[in-house]
Homo-oligomer: A and B are copies of this chain.
Amino acid sequence: MTRLHAGNPDPVRAILDGMAAWAGAPADEAQCPVRDVLDRVGQKWTLLILVALEPAPRRFSQLQRQLRDISKRMLTQSLRQLERDGLVSRQVFPTKPPSVEYALTDLGRSALPAIGALLVWADDNHEAIRASRAAFDAEEVA
């Protein structure tokens, strides 16, 4: 068990080693923790939902309004996955009409710093990225 700790001096290197270890098993790569989480991260809505739940628990409609252009279908699906992964809790109130409240679990909350760091980086550097793209595209034409 190669466990990585936050205090690890070179986590990135350890990650590479960990990936190398998984490289042996052909089909078991789906079980690799890195790939596993990366798939979730790629889900387009999951991270936004987690972030949206940070300030306080939300109800279904509240989330849909907050995320603007997400369909009910995708919201339901994403929430189900997050619930299955244990990052989000779902509590049904048998009112009339029924209301459902979603909240971050401790596990889900523990992911926010890392996610936040990524989003902060995105915000800090997207201008540089856009500039780089413009320059790159300009050369392509020439």
Contact = CB atoms under 8 A, between A and B. Distances in A.
Interface of A: 3-6, 8, 11-13, 15-16, 18-19, 23, 29, 33-34, 36-39, 41-44, 47-48, 51-52, 54-55, 66, 68-69, 83-87, 107, 110-126, 128-129, 131-133, 136-137
Contacts of A114: 114, 117-118, 120-121
A37 B125 CA distance: 10
Given A55-B13, A114-B114, A4 B124 contact: yes
B36 A122 contact: yes
B86 A16 contact: no
A124 B41 CA distance: 16
26 contacts: A3-B123, A6-B117, A6-B120, A8-B120, A13-B54, A15-B51, A15-B123, A16-B52, A19-B48, A33-B122, A36-B122, A36-B129, A38-B44, A38-B122, A39-B44, A41-B118, A42-B42, A84-B133, A84-B137, A107-B128, A111-B121, A114-B117, A114-B118, A114-B120, A114-B121, A117-B118
Contacts of A121: 37, 110-111, 114
